[in-house]
Structure 1
Amino acid sequence: MKLKSLTIAIALAATSVSTFAADKQEGFYIGAFGDYYDASWENMSAQAGLDVNESTGFGLEAGYRFSDFWSARLEYADLDFNAFDKAAGNRNNIDGSRFGIDALYHLDGGPFYGLVGIKSMDVVDDNTFLNAGVGYRHFITDNLFANVETAVYQGIDKGYTDVGAKLGINYFFGQNTMPAEPVQPAPEVVEVMVEPVDSDNDNILDADDKCPNTPMTDAVDGTGCTLYEDKEVTVSLLVTFPNDKAAVSQRYLDDIDQVASFLKDYPDTTVLLEGHTSAVGKATYNKMLSKKRADSVAKQLIADGIASDRITTVGLGEERLKNEANTAAAHAENRRVEAHIKTIKTVKVLR
């Protein structure tokens, strides 16, 4: 009685559902199910004193979905009934089978359905039943679904009224017809005119400027980045000496310091100090004196922090006279040490 009441409650709940989205349309399906059947057959005529009660079993079914709303199926169930033989006073199991056909109506084409059918039951003797019930199916994947249902069975031959329930798994060969997500209209694109901006005033718009905030003094290329160029930078040194002297006068120390600073700013540079004399005196002596003059300037650069391996000295004596006149002024001009240093420096191009 409890199972029958539950069946009626499920039927009322299912028939109250009004709208469900369609889940499948036409297609063939096959499946297997577990079965429970609650019978209350007393004193069966084929075997007097035999009461047949509930059964558990399994079965196979094959169906076809004709439309969103209608489908039909064939089923076969192998049953195992619990029976009591009053004459013998013992309980035993009786094998049975059920074969039949059902028509299914899918409520609004959705997962809930109602069913009616006719079944032939072979248990001790043959009986014919009409059945009606409700069910629910749930698609696990696009083609695999599980279903659960319950039904009332009304005997035609004997007048039995029974209930049954099924839990099955099925494979569907049809096509998915779940409604597609509504296509949302593309958002309206409103073009807003934006005034071009040149934040650093380099005549390159911000949208194209790969080097924002370049200084106002810098010339820039087409991407807004500072332009650079290679520029030759030089420093020269001229130290003069009294006749027959090689010591560096104090008045040349600042000039030598400037050369030292240049060498420090450009550490890849070296310096060649060329010593000279006038044409007065012997050439061999003048050669030696000119080298001493160059070495004196070198010692001062070393004292200013320049490494000795960056300095080369040479004594040229009277080989390269700056003034060939034979006068005191010309001789004074020729007594000297000279140096000329140059290098390439990468510098900004100014606007």
Structure 2
Amino acid sequence: MMNAFQRYAVLSRQVLSSIFLIIAALVLTGCSISAPQAPVASQQADLLDNDSDGVINARDNCEGTPAGAVINNDGCSEEFEISARDDLHILFANDSSRIPASFIGEVNDLASFMKSFSSIVVELKGYASIIGEPDYNLTLSERRSKAVKSALIEQGIIPDRVRIVGYGEAEPVEAQTQEQSDILSRRVTASVKVSETDIVKKWTIYTTSPEDE
């Protein structure tokens, strides 16, 4: 007769044998005891966004939207017109091409304007009074234009963006007296007008308003 320990050992072997047979049956029948894999969705629609503006190609009516632009639901940016003008008028002493200190600010303002609109080219027009020989005054008017161009270059303007012209005694300024006319005629002038189209840009944490600059 088996004692209690022997009966427990026999029972344990029977249970283990049963478990082994069940596992073997599951393996042989191709059953899996692991969780089934999730189905893979098949994407049919085109969700690409080639210009990275947040609007997919399928409904983007404006390809190549500039980076950072505010766009509408059709992927199009908003534009606005910029119009600006700057005038330069420098008077010179008789028989001189040195820019008076009181007119340096005019040069600096024009340089700043040209830096803001990098596409513009300025034409400097030099003049002289009727005092002296016409040929000499023509050369003098050119020297005055060159002096202003050099001052602009010193402010960081590329030489190719500045053209000079000397008109000599041509186009004198009308005044009440000849002396006043001579004083006002010794000049260099320039008038620059620009119109550009820009885009409305998104606000970012790095954005600063003109008042903060």
In the superposition, the TM-score normalised over structure 1's length comes to 0.34
How far residue 348 of structure 1 moved from its aligned partner, in angstroms, is 7.9
How far residue 345 of structure 1 moved from its aligned partner, in angstroms, is 2.6
Match of 1:299 in 2: 150
Whether 2:188 is the aligned partner of 1:337: answer yes
CA distance in 2, matches of 1:295, 1:306: 14
How far residue 280 of structure 1 moved from its aligned partner, in angstroms, is 1.8
CA distance in 2, matches of 1:306, 1:271: 11
Aligned with residue 252 of structure 1, among 71, 86, 103: 103
Q: Structure 1 residues 229, 286: closer, same or farther in 2, change over 3 A?
A: same
Comparing both chains, which one has the higher relative contact order based on Cα–Cα distances under 8 Å and sequence gaps of 6 or more? 2
Match of 2:162 in 1: 311
Count matched residues. 131
Whether 2:136 is the aligned partner of 1:285: answer yes
Root-mean-square deviation (CA, aligned residues, Å) is: 2.7
Aligned with residue 230 of structure 1, among 67, 75, 81: 81
Whether 2:127 is the aligned partner of 1:276: answer yes
Per-residue deviation, residues 82-127 of structure 1 (Å, max 9, x unmatched): xxxxxxxxxxxxxxxxxxxxxxxxxxxxxxxxxxxxxxxxxxxxxx
What's the secondary structure of 1:261's corresponding residue? helix
How far residue 321 of structure 1 moved from its aligned partner, in angstroms, is 1.5
Match of 1:327 in 2: 178
What's the secondary structure of 1:299's corresponding residue? helix
In the superposition, the TM-score normalised over structure 2's length comes to 0.55
Asked if 2 retains the 8 angstrom alpha-carbon contact of 1:226 and 1:348, the reply is yes
- Structure 1 residue runs without a partner (length 5+): 1-220
What's the secondary structure of 2:173's corresponding residue? coil
How far residue 344 of structure 1 moved from its aligned partner, in angstroms, is 1.1
Asked if 2 retains the 8 angstrom alpha-carbon contact of 1:256 and 1:300, the reply is yes
Higher strand share: 1
Amino acid at match of 2:196: K
| Larger Rg computed on CA atoms | 1
Asked if 2 retains the 8 angstrom alpha-carbon contact of 1:323 and 1:331, the reply is no
Alignment of 1:188-207 (within 5 A): none
Choose 274-283 or 322-331, whichever is displaced more: 322-331
Per-residue deviation, residues 272-327 of structure 1 (Å, max 9, x unmatched): 11100112221111100000000011110010011111111111001121227651
Identity, % of aligned pairs?
29
Higher helix share: 2
- Structure 2 residue runs without a partner (length 5+): 1-71, 201-213
